[in-house]
Structure formats: structure tokens, C-alpha cells
């Protein structure tokens, strides 16, 4: 699990669309999809329901995305602490 994969999960939850989330992350939709699949495989669970018109987080996905937002905020805080 990487911070980048978590960023992609947060973006997909926010945009509910692979193309828009990928654009926001400055990657292709294929890259975003592959990285999210890797995250889901690592966790052993589906984080997003792709069977509906708009991609939506599963119940577990909502919890993971909430945790990911906190982790990303803390990572940014660490980066800021390290700046002179």
C-alpha cells in the first residue's frame, strides 16, 4: 500500500468517475485503475462498486477513504515540518 494508491482512492471517491479522477491526479485512467486494483488486492477487499453508472465506494471503501484522507493530511504535515 502506497500513499499514491491512497491518493488515487481519495480522488476516485471524490470524482466518482475514473476519467475525472485520473485527470485530477495527472495520470491515465488505466494507470489509476491498475493502481486501485493493486490496492484492493493488497487489502483483499473491493473498495469501489464499479457496477453502477457512477463509481461509488463500498462500505469498507468509505472507511478506507476516510482513513486515507487523514493519512495524506499527516504526510503533508510531516513534509511541512521538514521544510526550513
The x, y and z cell numbers of residue 71, run together, are: 493519512
Position 54 scores a pLDDT of 84
Q: How far is CA 25 from CA 4, 5, 11, 62, 81, in A?
A: 9, 11, 7, 19, 24
Distance separating alpha carbons of residues 70 and 27, to the nearest angstrom: 23
- What's the average model confidence in pLDDT over 15-32? 96
Characterize 53-73 residue by residue with b for buried, 16 or more Cβ atoms within 10 angstroms of its Cβ, and e for exposed: eebebeeebeebbeebbeeee
Share of the chain above pLDDT 70, in %: 100
Amino acid at each position: 500500500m502506497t500513499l499514491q494508491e491512497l491518493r488515487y482512492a481519495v480522488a476516485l471517491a471524490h470524482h466518482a468517475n475514473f476519467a475525472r479522477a485520473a485527470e485530477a491526479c495527472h495520470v491515465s485512467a488505466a494507470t489509476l485503475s491498475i493502481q486501485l486494483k493493486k490496492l484492493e488486492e493488497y487489502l483483499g477487499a473491493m473498495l469501489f462498486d464499479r457496477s453502477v453508472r457512477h463509481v461509488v465506494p463500498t462500505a469498507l471503501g468509505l472507511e478506507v477513504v476516510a482513513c486515507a484522507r487523514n493519512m495524506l493530511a499527516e504526510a503533508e504535515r510531516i513534509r511541512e515540518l521538514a521544510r526550513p
